[in-house]
Amino acid sequence: MSYTIDKSSMARRPANGSGAMLFTLGGLAAGLGVASCCALPLLLTTIGVSTAWLGGVALLAAPHRGALLVVGALCLLGGAALLWRQQRTAAACGPNGVCTPRAVRALTLVGLLIGAVLLWLGYAYA
């Protein structure tokens, strides 16, 4: 019994950018955990948002701060690499090509930037 893979049907499969988005969400979650002890409460209090809910997150994340920094940085780097690949594919994509939508790529870029800022704040202020 042999199985054949139809590569043409795989090429027509819509690109949705879920890999880059998942890496970005992982980086955001790790950045939130790292920044929850010091930088995020200070920033949110400055703009008038209550930070009482961050106490529980900070208690859970504080012992794992180093691991969260590494995991967050790796997730953000993976998301950036996949986003770069999507951008390169979208540039070569013709009018009838199947590419990741521009809104998904922009949202991923914003998430990567926010995650990087959260990781930096958590590293700098703790």
Domain ranges for the chain: 19-49+64-79+95-126
Q: Note the pLDDT of residue 9.
A: 47
What does each of the 126 residues of the chain score in pLDDT, given as a tens digit?
A: 566 655 454 455 556 778 899 999 999 999 998 988 888 888 888 888 888 888 888 888 888 889 999 999 999 999 999 999 988 888 888 777 778 888 889 999 999 999 999 999 989 886
Q: Note the pLDDT of residue 72.
A: 94
- Cα 45 to its chain centre, rounded Å, is 25
